[in-house]
Amino acid sequence: MRSAVFYGKHDLRVEEHEMPVVGPHDVLIQVKACGVCGTDVHIYEGDKGAAEVTPPTILGHEFSGVIREVGSQVKNYKAGDRVCIDPNCYCGACDPCRNGVAHYCENMIGYGTTVDGGFAEYCAVDERQVYLLGEHTTFEQGAMAEPVACCLHGIDMCEIQPGHQVVVIGGGMIGLLMLQLAKLAGAAKVALLEPVENKREVGRKLGADVCIDPLKEDVKGRLAECGMNWVNVVIECVGRPTTIEQAIDIAGNKAVVMMFGLTKPDEEIAVKPFQIFQKELVLKASYINPYTQRRALDLINSGRLDVSSMVYAVCGLEELEDVLGRPEVRAKGKYVIDPGK
Residues labelled catalytic:
39, 42
Q: In this structure, are residues 233 and 160 in contact, taking their beta carbons and an 8 Å threshold? A: yes
d(CA 33, CA 295): 20
Q: In this structure, are residues 111 and 87 in contact, taking their beta carbons and an 8 Å threshold? A: yes
CA-based nearest residue to 131, from 88, 185, 94: 88
Q: What angle do CA 262, 265, 266 make, to 5 degrees?
A: 130
Q: Please tell me what DSSP assigns to residue 330.
A: H
**Whether residue 162 has a cis bond before it, omega within 30° of 0:** no
d(CA 43, CA 55): 10
d(CA 51, CA 49): 5
CA-based nearest residue to 130, from 294, 309, 328: 294
